[in-house]
A and B are shown apart, each in its own frame.
Chain A
């Protein structure tokens, strides 16, 4: 397991609050976020809050960007998230991030979230990160 990514999760309070765990780093970054009551978005449906799902997708994408950039934190420029199915409460969310393109200045990362199987994604994000140019 990549020590830099584990350290990033450990030192980021936001990631700790979500309890996101690194499952694997190769070939793609994969995370698991166990269900917690403070993720509830719709108490009548007991579903994940859409914004929390976005947060977990962004976090997984940031880990992939960190890995691709050789442990340099890349600021997130933009996130475009499609919600594909309800993300049900009382169940964990799995996320996997893929590098679409790794350029000199821009990193494009796609992230998918699922609960039952990756073939039935609940949300998908296209993320754009800026690479910090050495001064």
Chain B
């Protein structure tokens, strides 16, 4: 999958997902089992009106999205997925008024579950903000939203 195709896939992944539109997550890059997104700072997601930074809850939502996206990209057969467990350590407050970088990696997958770890960092990667691990059920009830389906729609 080339960069243009992936960008298309990401657009389809976010289309109709109100939470993604609300967060305005941007696709940055992908490589084997790993995706990088950028979450822009928006005042509505801030901890405070003045000198606010991205709220821990907003970081949690972006981490969950990045984890789900990397799981979908790794599916060989299109299937619905669902978050089973998400654990997030909040290490450092996000920089005031700044965008953040979100990275997720699917480090293990079985027939039933995908295991993901993810990080939120400052945009330059020097400050680690959050560390997360997630478990996703593969083949949860509902229509599949997989890479192949998305690719067919993208063509």
- By a beta-carbon cutoff of 8 Å, the part of chain A in contact with chain B is 11-14, 16-18, 36-45, 49-52, 54-56, 58-59, 75-83, 86
Contact = CB atoms under 8 A, between A and B. Distances in A.
Interface of B: 15-22, 43-49, 52, 55-58, 60-65, 68, 80, 82-90, 93, 141-143, 145
Given A77-B90, A79-B90, A12 B47 contact: yes
Contacts of B44: 13-14, 16-17
Nearest to B43: A13
Nearest to A13: B46
A70 to B, nearest CB: 20
Given A12-B48, A14-B55, A55-B58, A42 B17 contact: yes
B contact patch SS: mixed
Contacts, number: 124
Given A13-B52, A49-B65, A78-B89, A55 B60 contact: yes
The CB with the most chain B CB atoms within 10 A, among A13, A36, A39, A51, is that of A51
Contacts of B68: 50
A59 B43 CA distance: 17
Contacts of B82: 50, 83, 86
Given A43-B16, A43-B17, A49 B48 contact: no
A36 B49 CA distance: 22
B155 to A, nearest CB: 20
